Amino acid sequence: MELHSNIFENLCTPAALLAGWARVLANVGGPGGDRVTVHSFGHNLDGEIARLRADLASGAYRPGPLRRTAIPKRSGGSRPLAIPCVRDRVAQSALRLLLEPRLEPTFSDASFGYRPGRGVTEAVARVQELYREGYRHVVDADIERFFEHVPHGPLLVRLGEAIQEPPVVRLIGRWLSAEPEARGLPQGSPISPLLSNFYLDHLDDRLTGRGVRLVRFADDFLVLCRSPDGAGAALERVRDILGELGLRLNLDKTRLIDFDRGFQFLGRKFVKSFVLAGTVLEEEEEDEAMSIAGPSGAWSAGNPMDAALPAPADANAAPRLTPAPNATPPQTLDAGTPENAPAAEGAPATHDLAPVLRPLYLLTPGRRLSLRGEAFAVMEDGQTVALLAPRRLDRIEIGPDAEADGNALRQALAYGIHVAYVSGSGRTLGTLAPPPDHGARHLAQAGTRLDPRRGLAIARAFAGARIRNQRALLNRLNRRRKHSAVAETASKIGRIALKLGIALREDAVRGVEGEAAALYWPALGQMFEHGFGLTRRERQPPASPTDLILNYAAGLLARDVETLLLRHGLHPGIGFLHGARDLEAPLAWDIMEPFRAPLVEGFAVYLVNNRVLRAAEFDRREDGSLVMAPDARLSLTRAYEGWLARPVRNHRLGSDTVWRGLIEHDILALIRTIQEDEPFEPYVMDY
């Protein structure tokens, strides 16, 4: 039986309730009114799930008491919370997983809060888009205590009409009955966000159209119009529609405004064509969290409940950079031109901390990537673990024990998403990508590679950055340790870099780099603790757990770089320092050279010395090969995403960016070198 054929019947299964438990476990949270903690519930998980299943199936299930508390709001005042018991959160999370695929396709495009594949970033981008389309007058609306005032009767009637399953409606009614006066959605309940969107979808449908556009994030929304009169009329319509829903506007917080005067929405300040950083919205914290989508393995930089990936909406835009405060508004630019151009002279520094790549990692055994409508669905044991909008993904990694359906792979091709199949050691087994469409740029790249002067200059630049960053990393890591031998090695590596000036061929450049590496690896090995170390670098096969960690991290970085190269129309197979090769990506290896020290080797030291990875998580098979435990691969990947999300200074722009943004700027600089013969200066670490 398909999941959506009988929601209640599917809810009363161990698989559905265990999926709900996985969501509760991922969020942890405190106990409900019965004081049973998540840990206590999980200690006897099989028995608890069996009892919950039996109670639901027999009709004996009754919700436990809510624990009521309040948390302070950044804007002042407090937000009331009503926290269900753990067993109730399990049931609600399981039902949400089953209801969401049925209700989501019916929701309006105007809604962005608490939805898979949507979030604050998309809502902000939609407001900017409407401004460019001429919607300059705004109703900045606020519903008076929305979550406390939703009437249960109309909500349950509408829900019954939508899903046609009385047992589901009765169950939700029991959860809601704990609220006084038959009103209110308990904030802290896993089912409340879905119910709030369902109830306000009536507002979305009734309001949008006739010269009016709506952007709604939960109960916070803007109505955008082309004229002041239109905004005034829209305000009256909003009041009438909310009246139909048993709700009303908070007139003290609702106003008519325009972009010239500016207004605040979702923690951003909108002034004319600019979006300025404001206070952080509480709901936005979900989008910005690094977490697992489900209990483990389907990993994305996004919301743990919704697997939402915060990033600009256009999956084909290049480069993926957000407009900055006081910078020139973005235009339709060539793929090699950064949209985030420096601000006019005298303007404040720009900042770009938006995600540049949005990956999905399928690492847990048994996970399968499929489709639900147009959305990617991560499946496990027939249950949907996560839903992701295709336009919000840039690449997908499929681990050794996960799979992807053919229709999902075709969808990835249709949206230009780079797919890589990866071994347990992090090696790329094969990739899937749409055909290249930058023949002219490939030709210019090949011409530069074949020009002895220009090709050699680029090779020297990559090798020089690699050697200087090796020296900088050793000095940074040795600040506290103060090993005299490591300090001397760093000095020697710096002197070796001077030899690049007399290297007249690419093989000579590679020889200088190899000379520095021979000193670098033993010195780096002294920086590892807890029994890890390195005397020489042995890649294939990896000779030690340290080698395997370095291989895995380098593989992640290489696939990131290759995805960015394809985005910007460069051919990964035509390198400069590493030459040209078939079926490989030497240009990705070139671009990686400046970033290996901070993003592979420095990252590996962090993983080991902070015990993110431990020696017990590595094992040697009978054939002598070294393997990393699946949980360790997951921990490494999670940490890698957090490591790359840290701010780093972009000296080209005089601003902060994330590491992938810095890599992208190196690629853009290389494009300018190829097309305009500018000197190429890759990233060099400060010390």
Give me the residue label for tokens 């436990």: 64
The answer to whether 493 and 519 are in contact (CB under 8 A) is yes
Residue-level pLDDT at 22: 82
pLDDT digits (tens, 9 = 90+) for 29-78: 678 888 888 877 887 888 999 999 999 999 999 999 998 877 656 555 66
pTM, two decimal places: 0.54
pLDDT at residue number 76: 57
- Give pLDDT, residue 71: 66
* The pLDDT value given to residue 118: 86
- Mean pLDDT for each 10-residue chunk of the chain (687 residues)? 64 91 76 84 87 94 89 63 92 94 91 88 91 93 90 94 93 89 87 94 86 91 93 93 93 90 88 68 32 31 26 25 26 23 28 70 90 83 81 87 92 88 90 80 92 94 95 93 92 93 91 94 94 89 93 95 91 91 88 96 93 92 87 90 84 80 92 91 88
CA-based angle 556:368:304, to the nearest 5? 70
CA dist 465 and 422 (Å) reads 28
Tens digit of each residue's pLDDT (9 = 90 or more) over 4-31: 358 999 999 998 998 898 888 766 667 8
Residues paired with 67 in a beta bridge: 83
* C-alpha–C-alpha distance, residues 100 and 152, integer Å: 19
For residue 269, what is the enclosing H or E element? strand 268-271
Burial class (CB in 10 A: 0-12, 13-18, 19+), 221: buried
Contact 334, 142 (CB under 8 A): no
DSSP code for 622: T
Residue 58, SS3 per DSSP: helix
What pLDDT sits at residue 178? 82
Q: State the amino acid at position 245 in one-letter form.
A: L
Closest C-alpha to 304, from 289, 316, 315: 289
- The pLDDT score that the predictor gives to residue 348 is 28
**Residue 77: predicted pLDDT:** 63
CA–CA gap between residue 120 and residue 216 (Å, rounded): 10
Q: How far from 152 is each of 108, 148, 197, 309, 503, CA to CA, in Å? A: 22, 11, 14, 32, 77
Q: What is the DSSP string of 410-425?
A: HHHHHTT-EEEEE-TT
The torsion angles phi and psi of 251, rounded to 5 degrees, stand at -65, -25
The β-bridge partners of 209 are: 212
Q: How far apart are CA 79 and CA 70, in angstroms?
A: 5
Phi, psi (5° rounding) for residue 102? -80, -40
